[in-house]
Structure 1
């Protein structure tokens, strides 16, 4: 029977597919860690109160990258290079989502608008990340070996999304509402296109590694295209709404002391 649970199980049980899955996830998380770390270092003085939270966000993403690499190590597997067509973060940057790496590699402080744009972009991408991790928890969260890892990451991603909501609402009240809403809409519409492209590319690679029949790959691709159709027609609105989260100050203070997953 074709189901999300059975697809995840196929990927987890096959070394080559699992290696690609974890490599893609680890690379994306590590990239996010670097980006947040640089943004924290370049925050303008007028927004210095945000720097510790942005740094905490980056530290969480770095941790997630290490977790996915640890999952590979436990299986005796080495990471593989991420195919360019599967590189979600790179493709987002190419479409102008996120602050440019050229700017982040520099030493000039960011502007207040840069930080507002960063948070609006993050609100969109963290929505996707939180949804993906909650899906993983639903289907593999109780499995030995991977369950604890995905539950830990899911908790962090929910915190990241809460932080974006709260900080954007605060900045909107300070006069940045027009910029926030414009950037949210632009980011969401670009993200759903990239997500479909990456999803179809990953399905193609997984299909070859797992020797799926053409009909199975086509059916899964139709599902990815159907999701994109839903999101394009209005599903993207969930990625741009703002509401005060139940988790307040989710990234305030240092990261809690916890044993690194291994």
Structure 2
């Protein structure tokens, strides 16, 4: 039976596929931590109150990277290099989404529009992350090996998504509304393409590791394309709407430690 639960259980139960999954996840989270750290350091004077929240976001992403690395260590593994075709962050940057790493390596302060670009990029990618973690939470919250990690990361991703809504609404009220909507739409349409391509690349590698039949691989490939088709038609709109979040000021304090994983 092809279901999210059975598919992920198969990946979890096989050492090499689990190693690939955690390596890709750890690499993406570490990259996000670096990006947020640099953005926090370059926030323009008019938005300095946002810097601690961006830094908190980065600290959470770093923590998630350590969690995935710790899960690998428990099985006696070190992280694998992230295959280029599965590098979600890099592929988004190549499509011009978010702030370029070359810009973040400079010491010149960002502009308010740069902050809007960062928050719009985060709004879209955190939607994806929150949905993926909600799926894992549904099926594996009580799993003895990964349950605690799933619960912790899912909570953080929900906070990150709420934070992007809150800050984009604040900037929209300050006069950036039209630019925010244009940027969100461009980010969402690019993200769904990158997500499709990364999903196909990851599934191809998992299929080789797990010895999937051609029929099973074809079904999973068709499913990925079907999801992309829906998102291209209408599903992207969920990534661009803004609403007052139930969680208020979700990144207003220090990052919660994760000593059992660090």
TM-score normalized by the length of structure 1: 0.98
Do the aligned residues in 1 keep the contact of 2:63 with 2:258 (CA within 8 Å)?
no
Aligned to 2:206: 206
What do the CA deviations read for 1:28-75 (whole angstroms, capped 9, x no partner)?
Answer: 000000000000000011100000000000000000000000000001
Do the aligned residues in 2 keep the contact of 1:124 with 1:239 (CA within 8 Å)?
yes
- Aligned counterparts, 1:134-145, within 5 A: 134-145=134-145
Distance 1:249-1:101 versus aligned 2 partners, 3 A rule: same
Aligned to 2:235: 235
What do the CA deviations read for 1:198-254 (whole angstroms, capped 9, x no partner)?
Answer: 000000000000000010011011110000000000000000000000000000021
- Residue 23 (structure 1) aligned with residue 35 (structure 2): no
What is the rounded CA distance, in whole Å, between the counterparts of 1:151 and 1:235 in structure 2? 26
What is the rounded CA distance, in whole Å, between the counterparts of 2:125 and 2:101 in structure 1? 17
Aligned to 1:42: 42
What do the CA deviations read for 1:10-45 (whole angstroms, capped 9, x no partner)?
Answer: 100100000000000000000000000000000011
SS in 1 for 2:80: coil
What is the rounded CA distance, in whole Å, between the counterparts of 1:189 and 1:104 in structure 2? 23
Aligned to 2:169: 169
- Residue 5 (structure 1) aligned with residue 5 (structure 2): yes
Structure 1 residue 86, shift from structure 2 partner = 0.5
SS in 2 for 1:160: helix
- Aligned counterparts, 1:1-262, within 5 A: 1-261=1-261
What is the rounded CA distance, in whole Å, between the counterparts of 1:257 and 1:67 in structure 2? 11
What is the rounded CA distance, in whole Å, between the counterparts of 2:60 and 2:255 in structure 1? 8
Structure 1 residue 160, shift from structure 2 partner = 0.0
What is the rounded CA distance, in whole Å, between the counterparts of 2:105 and 2:2 in structure 1? 45
Distance 1:133-1:210 versus aligned 2 partners, 3 A rule: same
The more displaced of 135-144 and 19-28 is: 135-144
Distance 1:260-1:36 versus aligned 2 partners, 3 A rule: farther
RMSD between aligned residues: 0.9
Structure 1 residue 259, shift from structure 2 partner = 3.1
The more displaced of 252-261 and 230-239 is: 252-261
What is the rounded CA distance, in whole Å, between the counterparts of 2:119 and 2:157 in structure 1? 14
Do the aligned residues in 1 keep the contact of 2:171 with 2:177 (CA within 8 Å)?
yes
What is the rounded CA distance, in whole Å, between the counterparts of 2:255 and 2:143 in structure 1? 26
What is the rounded CA distance, in whole Å, between the counterparts of 1:210 and 1:147 in structure 2? 23
Do the aligned residues in 2 keep the contact of 1:8 with 1:139 (CA within 8 Å)?
no
Structure 1 residue 148, shift from structure 2 partner = 0.5
